A and B are shown apart, each in its own frame.
Chain A
Amino acid sequence: MQVTRDYSHYVKDMGSGLAHLDLAVEGVTCAGCMTKIERGLSALPDVTLARVNLTDRRVAVEWRAGAVDPAGLIDRLAELGYKAYPYEPVRAELAEVQQTRFLLRCLGVAAFATMNVMMLSVPVWSGNVTDMLPEQRDFFHWLSALIALPAAAYAGQPFFRSAFTALRARSVNMDVPISIGVVLALGMSVVETINHAEHAYFDAAIMLLTFLLAGRFLDQNMRRRTRAVAGNLAALKAETATKFVSPEEIREVPVAAINAGDLVLLRPGERCAIDGSVVEGRSEIDQSLITGETAHVAAGPGTQVYAGTLNVSGTLRVRVAAASEGTLLDEISRLLDNALQARSRYVRLADRASRLYAPVVHATALMTLVGWALAGANWHDATVTAIAVLIITCPCALGLAIPAVQTVAAGAMFRAGVLLNSGDAIERVAAVDTIVFDKTGTLTLPDLDVVNRDAIPDGVVALAGRLALASHHPVAAAVAQAAGAKLPLPDIVEEPGRGVRGVVDGIEARLGSPAFCDAEAAARQLLATDPEVSVVAFRHGEVHQVFAVRQRLREDAAKVVARLRERGIAVEILSGDREPAVRQAATALGVDTWRAGVNPAEKIARIEELKRQGHHVMMVGDGLNDAPSLAAASVSMSPISATHLSQAAADLVFLGKDLSPVLKAVDFSRKAVGLMRQNLGLAIGYNVIAVPIAIAGLATPLIAAAAMSGSSILVIMNALRGRSAGTEA
């Protein structure tokens, strides 16, 4: 049966006869790739637009509707050397893009208004001490009002809305003092202007908004960017299923287009994308991503299969029970929800600071007002001074202090192969004192590896490797990988559940189960010395060989564990796999605390126990069974090979074959939190100096504006130091 790929689910109709498709592309790193892809796609007939987005690593393609097959575009990209997959942005990402755009628009308006109001304010400041006529000053003040009032009404929306929501919920956030300060300052300035006073505060109010919006934008932009790249990676993992559209015709479709009740085909070596029950066929299922158990489970008609499991030997027809929500997934997502709710109690550093900050600012301003009134000043002067206090303490630097560090740290971590899912993850990683690792797929590489390669003659390995290329079996893939085989042998026959055979130099060669290759004695001998390996036998005439295959530890795992210890972090292993396998890994890594055969609920229980003891726990895992414990831990990390649900639950996702990103995440986070504290210190230090001046009634708008920008710039410069963390791992 010939499989056709059906991506029509992703194609958007643009109207006027144009079709549009967004593709996530792997490996786009430079300008060269950009031109190569754009030219390569534009050269295809009927393609009207091909544009690469280098920031998000995506390509937008448009063509005359019906003239181009989307699968052909993906093949064309493959010819050019790029792996691509249709991309559909998730709703959260779309909302984030819109939010970022809105913030940028607000920032543009506020920056425009600041520049123009400043242009009018400087002549007033200098004119007040020289020769400016009162009429001219009033004219300038009115002009400032004309610019600043509508600009603030528009650009202040993010703060006003948030403050309003907080007040309605009877709580106070940082946006409340900001909103009160801005509104009061503008209102007072209008009154002052009407009364022909010397000073107005339009410049201070609008400049404050500009700086705060810059901080918000930085924060938002960091999240948007990592979410976009993480979304790409999820799409590139290409979760598709082969669906029967009729009893005879199969078609490869994205999982999103599969419904309960559909019949799908699951071939050997394929990872299952849905939950369902087997209708026809016999095979073995590798459930290691679900349970952590590496031994295979037999499957036949009636057996339940779950998304994330790997079909090993035979072809199965599966009736879909659920493509995205199902029995096992339901259970796990229920645990996940509970765990996530428990974690939302975490308070971010910025929120903690502002929780203290808001009452202090309000109290100081109020006391200034009352104090001056009692001291005999008139209400007008007392109010003006109180507003100056409110403005000068407004958390300009505070608003920038944390987002600026987060953005810089997220960029640095991204270059080190770590993607952040949430901004406050940095603070939570920095607090970690215990790391719990899952074994399968996390400490070990997700793919299998031949361990007795050196004991087998090169010629045999090479031949076995070429045979192995004909099979999808993961153990065969390990043999092909070990041999570095590139050329498949012609006329290979696959016997389901047993192995592959073909004729080489006139003699039959076989690769498969020991029984299939008459190598049972050798296999028994090998298993007696090392019970943890999987075996695959090879036979060519009289030559017999048995390959031992096992999941290999990530190369730098031992080093990373040792380095983590040096930093005062305790390391534990919690695995669903059998005891001997876990013991072996723990010994190799020098980890004393480990448990084997643990189910998801027991994993959560252990993490809760550690948390009760006052530890900050980071969970690193990849399987479906890890997802709830990932959410239960204070902070969590997943390799990019993890199941979809685990990645969604993880705060950080790391790329590549090494474990070192875990160490780098810790180092960068610790440095970043150090910088955040310094920045908060700077912001507070600035207030300690500036507030008494304002209370004393000595702060002219010029001084307030200069001090405010000075402190903001200082905070940004300090944040830039987070680019390197001095990690040598």
Chain B
Amino acid sequence: MEVLIYLVPLALLLGFAGLAGFLWSLRNGQYEDLDGAAWRAIADDEPSPGQQQPGQ
């Protein structure tokens, strides 16, 4: 049962990392447009904002 000393904090740490990630993404506005996000993932060669496409 000694192993618990490592495993329990490790599990909690992972949980906190998940929570921190969620809060970070929420603050970043990543839940503002879920419909758009679904499509962005499969849209190809999306221009990064502000960058001009060559040839345009």
Contacts and interface: CB of A to CB of B under 8 A. Distances in A.
B8 interface: yes
Contacts of B49: 38, 42, 48-51
Contact of B43 (A35, A109, A147): A35
A31 B49 CA distance: 16
A136 B2 CA distance: 11
B26 A105 contact: yes
Nearest to A53: B33
A143 B8 contact: yes
B15 A43 contact: no
Given A42-B47, A53-B33, A109-B19, A34 B40 contact: yes
Interface stretch (A112-120, A237-245, A281-289, A643-651): A112-120
Contacts of B1: 133, 136
A50 B42 CA distance: 19
A416 interface: no
B3 interface: no
A101 interface: yes
Nearest to A97: B32
A543 B10 CA distance: 92
B14 to A, nearest CB: 9
Contacts of A55: 32-36
A115 B15 contact: yes
Given A56-B33, A119-B11, A42 B42 contact: no
A166 interface: no
A612 B1 CA distance: 74
B51 to A, nearest CB: 7
Which of A38, A39, A54, A133 has its CB near the most chain B CB atoms (within 10 A)? A54
Nearest to B20: A112
B43 to A, nearest CB: 6
Given A105-B26, A108-B26, A42 B11 contact: no
Nearest to B19: A112
A52 B39 CA distance: 12
Interface string B16-56: 10110011001000011111100110110011011111001
A108 B22 contact: yes
A495 B36 CA distance: 50
Interface string A81-125: 000000000000000000001001100110010011001100000
Contact of B18 (A50, A112, A147): A112
A729 interface: no
A105 B31 CA distance: 11
A47 interface: yes
Contact of B36 (A49, A50, A53, A133): A53
A104 B36 CA distance: 19
B50 A34 contact: no
A108 B23 contact: yes
A102 to B, nearest CB: 10
A706 interface: no
A104 to B, nearest CB: 6
B31 A38 contact: no
B20 to A, nearest CB: 10
A169 interface: no
Contacts of B51: 42
Nearest to A54: B36
Given A42-B51, A55-B34, A31 B56 contact: no
Contacts of B22: 108, 112
A464 B16 CA distance: 73
Contacts of A455: none
Interface in A35-68: 35, 38-39, 42-43, 47-56
A54 B35 contact: yes
Contacts of A56: 32-33
Contacts of A34: 36, 39-40, 43
Given A34-B39, A105-B23, A116 B15 contact: yes
Nearest to B44: A35
A42 B52 CA distance: 6
A217 B18 CA distance: 20
A375 interface: no
A438 B47 CA distance: 50
Interface string A510-522: 0000000000000
A689 interface: no
A507 interface: no
A56 B40 CA distance: 15
| Residue among B1, B4, B11, B19 with max Cβ neighbours from chain A (10 Å) | B19
Nearest to A39: B47
A30 interface: yes
A708 B31 CA distance: 28
Contacts of B36: 34, 52-55
A112 B17 CA distance: 10
Contacts of A143: 8, 12
Contacts of B47: 38-39, 42
7 contacts: A39-B53, A39-B56, A48-B49, A53-B36, A112-B16, A112-B18, A143-B8
Given A52-B33, A55-B32, A101-B26, 10 more contacts: A30-B39, A34-B39, A35-B46, A49-B50, A54-B33, A104-B26, A120-B8, A136-B1, A136-B4, A147-B12
7 residue pairs, one from A and one from B, having the closest CB atoms? A54-B36, A31-B39, A112-B19, A53-B33, A54-B35, A48-B50, A108-B22
Interface of B: 1, 4, 8, 11-12, 15-16, 18-19, 22-23, 26, 31-36, 39-40, 42-43, 46-47, 49-53, 56
